[in-house]
Structure 1
Amino acid sequence: MGQIQDAEQDDVGGTKRFRAKRNAILAAASEAMNEQSAKGMTFADVARRVGLNTTSVTYYFKRKEDLAQACFEHTLEILGDMLDEALLEPTPDARVAKYLSLNIARYARIREHDERALASLSDLRAMEEPMLGRLMAGWRDIFRRTRTLWGEEPANRRLKDLYGARAHVLLENTFWIPAWIARYDLDQYDRVEARLMDMFRHGIAMPGAEWRPEMFDIEHEEAEPGREAFLRAATRLINQLGYRGASVQKIASELNVTKGSFYHHLDAKDDLVIECYKRSFDTITETIRIGSAADGDWWHRLSSIIASLLDVQFTERGPLLRTTALNGLPRPVRTAMIDRSNRIARRYAGMLSDGAAEGSIRAVDPMIVAQSLMALQNAAFDMRKWASTMSRDRAVAMYASTLAFGMFDDRAAAHDAN
């Protein structure tokens, strides 16, 4: 009871004590959401992390949904503050460099326990109305402001599309950094930042390289009729709503089948996510295998692999399951999925190294750039609507150009296929 009385003595108008406790609860809830998803987060777990009892947490946030919303709003606020600071720089190059630097500095503070991690936005779409509408409006504002790092809204539609692709790839790359930066010592963070910025600035292709990929068509053999469509529908919903947000009922409704039909295909929801991951990883691995054996230099092979996987993401044959769906999975399963993801990243790193030795790909840090390629193919799912406004070849070429040719040469807009 003492904790409740302490809370009630706080000035709800905003005393330091009230704000400190509220911020501690937000930080703990963000960590819980990142581990278990927004729907999986509980008041009891948050209270345990903060050292309060559950009733004390409900003094600050009446419902779990209110707490999740506040966490997402805090993330959007911090992103907005970093963008505001970056936008003070005089050129697009300097603005992107500043935004990346602010993110790396934040991850360094988290590593040193001077700051807590922000809530990942991957579960945002699983929120219910009216919260969802407000949060999505906030996310769209962040996206628009990120796009202005390259300048005010251009009258040229092609440039607007290009700036949108760049903004999305930049955001998703900075969101992806926590997935791999722990492998580096803190004193290497400056180097990580420099190598990422080098890729954003110059891309991975050699000067004068052309975008002429070969498209590989990867088909899945169905073990039983309808299973492939079932996994595609499940993957789309899990990508949109997260592991916990995509209920069995919603997946069944998407396919216009009964819940019983779901259990005809799989024994449990965890099995479904594992099968979706297996399908996605198999698609990526098979595409890389075919691409690595193709004719041509390593730039042609790598660009063909990237283009083929983006094409899958932008079509009904896709999508690939996003790694963000890992939140909420049992730890052994999550570890196994992360291990396979890292093995794919090492395949990319090998191709980048071979291409640099051959002279067809720029000398980049292969491990860092490989993770950026993973972020690129992961994030493309969210750009399906953007891609639907233009020809498929153009969408693939423009989205890929962000890492292939760099983010500051507007001639990249001319690399789309004719």
Structure 2
Amino acid sequence: MSQEALEDGEAIAPRPRAPTRRFERRRSAIIASAVEELNRKGIRGMTLGEVAARLDLVPTGVIYYFRNKEELASACFLQALQRFEGLIGEARGAADPREAILRFLALFFELKHQAAVGAADQIAVFNDVRALNAPAVNDAYVTMFRSARRLLDRPGGPRLPPLQRNARAHLLLSEAFWAVAWLRDFEPVDYARAADRAGSILLDGVAAPGTPWPRARKLDLTHANDPRADASSELFLRAATELINAEGYHGASVERISAKLNVSKGAFYHHNETKDELVAACFQRTFDVMWRAIRAAEAGGGSGLEVLVSAATALVEHQWGGASPLLRTSALTTVPESMQPELIRRFDRLSLRFASVLCDGVADGSVRPLDVSVGAQMITGMINAAAELQFWAPGLTTGNVADHYVRPFFTGLLIDA
């Protein structure tokens, strides 16, 4: 600053002091505590009081480091995105896309292994990151997505067309995120084995080599014969489902559901006993639609692969169409813990059914030998992730989503690459 400025009475702003090690340790501990709460309850359900209680602090002890819950949640997501950028960056040193994707999955599953045995902190999951709507987090996520997308590129070779490249990058990341839900069935020592199985399915697909690609049959997933269905109930189900998908259980408050439909809280309670009853109905409708797809596909006959392709295509198109969205299975992480065990059991039954159809395909030769338990979970993850395709692959339609998103799952992520 010039002497003239000093003579005019301007003060020199003190230089901000660098954070001390103690400050950084406490800040990191708060983020680790918040990640645990965030992964259990979502953004809307996490409270600064519960984060503080995990560390034997009072809430003001957290506010000293983070002004509010949103700032703390942003720090959790930015930390997770930084970790993903590191994994992706290390994987990109591989010689080709196949090796890069396998390395990325191995690194990610090893990270989860370290967290499971207490050797590393957990990282935030991204189930309801959109509920935060923080520009810094959104920008960092887009940057991470672009980095992950480059894992699909062959050095010096042609790239996939943008639409296919985006859809497959979304599929790759979504399957990694969804693995958190099914790794609970594995011992931590077997996480590397799980990574190998998941990588094999993503890269080599489900269909047996040389099997012609089956044409997906059109399936009727409507619930016209459901005596419980009526127009008013459907409006509430759709509004609640959209809010839960976007912002988790706690984001779908009675007030916000009512406002979305432009009705009063009194009208809400006229049609619904409680919010939890409506949430349970949203899950029930999702279960009904998914079972309807599986049974309708099986009723049409054909090989195991034909059944799986028809069911998966119908469900992805149903999810993509948006007329009656499915509740994303990732919403399980934010519902009250008292509701979770039964809902998890019911989703597990659906996965077991997909596993059974995979076994049928292996037996009839249309599906290659693979780990059917992992394959079933990944089918569920692929269907689940279709809800966000519109953000990452603009240009997909109900007419081409099967070719650019469903087919690469069944035939291999790098086909035609």
Question: Taking structure 2 as the reference length, what is the TM-score of the superposition?
Answer: 0.90
Q: Does 2:55 correspond to 1:30?
A: no
User: Are 1:120 and 2:125 counterparts?
Assistant: yes
Note the 1:364-379 alignment, pairs <5 A.
364-379=370-385
How far 1:363 moved relative to its partner?
Answer: 0.7
Q: CA deviation at 1:391?
A: 4.1
- In structure 2, which of residues 226, 239, 243 is the aligned counterpart of residue 237 of structure 1? 243
Matched letter for residue 76 of structure 1: L
The one of 79, 84, 104 aligned to 2:84:
79
User: Which segments of 5 or more consecutive residues in structure 1 lack a partner in the other structure?
Assistant: 1-10, 412-418
Q: Distance in 2 between matches of 1:328 and 1:392?
A: 29
Answer whether contact 2:205 2:410 (CA < 8 A) is retained.
yes
1:296 aligns with 2:302: yes
- Match in the other structure for 1:175: 177
Distance 1:233 1:296 in 2: 37
Deviates more, 1:204-213 or 1:304-313: 204-213
Q: 1:67-95 deviations in whole A, cap 9, x for unaligned?
A: 11111111111111111111222211111
Partner of 2:75: 70
Q: Do the aligned partners of 2:312 and 2:383 also contact (CA within 8 Å) in 1?
A: yes
- How far the C-alpha of 1:317 sits from its partner, in A, is 2.8
Aligned AA for 1:200? L
Q: Decide whether aligned partners of structure 1 residues 65 and 386 sit closer, same or farther in structure 2, where only a CA change above 3 A counts.
A: closer
> Does the C-alpha gap of structure 1 residues 216 and 151 become closer, same or farther in structure 2, counting only changes over 3 Å?
same
Match of 1:190 among 178, 189, 192: 192
> Is residue 222 of structure 2 the alignment partner of residue 216 of structure 1?
no
Is 1:403 equivalent to 2:405 in the alignment?
no
Q: Separation in 2 of the partners of 1:268 and 1:182?
A: 31
Q: What whole-Å deviation, never above 9, does each CA across 1:209-258 have from its counterpart, x for those lacking one?
A: 21411020211235333222321232122111221123323322322333
SS of corresponding position for 1:332: coil
The answer to whether residue 252 in structure 2 is matched with residue 246 in structure 1 is yes
Q: Distance in 2 between matches of 1:81 and 1:139?
A: 13
Q: Deviations over 1:158-201 (max 9, x none)?
A: 72111211111111111111212122223322221111111111
Tell me if structure 2 keeps the 8 A contact 1:159–1:410. no
Are 1:19 and 2:24 counterparts? Answer: yes
8 Å contact 1:314–1:387 — kept in the other structure? no
Question: Which of 125, 144, 147 is the equivalent residue of 1:145?
Answer: 147
Larger Rg: 2
Contact 1:165–1:402 (CA<8 Å) still a contact in 2? no
Cα pair distance change 1:59/1:262, threshold 3 Å: same
Which residue identity lines up with residue 216 of structure 2 in the other structure? P
Relative to structure 1, is the Cα distance of residues 156 and 189 closer, same or farther in structure 2, using a 3 angstrom cutoff? closer
Cα RMSD of the aligned pairs, angstroms, is 2.2
Match of 1:206 among 208, 212, 215: 208
Aligned to 2:367: 361
What displacement does 1:394 show?
1.3
Aligned counterpart, 1:3: none
Is this contact kept in 2: 1:200–1:406, CA < 8 A?
yes
Match 2:286 to one of 276, 280, 284: 280
> Aligned partners of 1:153 and 1:374: how far apart in 2?
32
Structure number with the bigger relative contact order (C-alpha 8 A, sep ≥ 6) is 2
- The size of the alignment, in residue pairs, is 398
Deviation at 1:16, TM superposition (A): 2.2
Is the Cα–Cα contact under 8 Å of residues 106 and 196 in structure 2 kept in the other structure? no
Query: 111-120 vs 338-347, which deviates more?
Result: 111-120
- Identify the residue that residue 329 of structure 1 maps to in structure 2: 335
Q: Which amino acid aligns with 1:113?
A: G
Structure 1 window deviating more from structure 2 (132-141 vs 195-204): it is 132-141
Letter in 2 for 1:148: R
Displacement after TM superposition at 1:301 (Å): 1.0
Deviation at 1:276, TM superposition (A): 0.6
The sequence identity of aligned pairs, in percent, is 35
Q: Quick one: distance in 1 between partners of 2:147 and 2:360?
A: 38
**Cα 1:111–1:22 shift into 2, 3 Å:** same
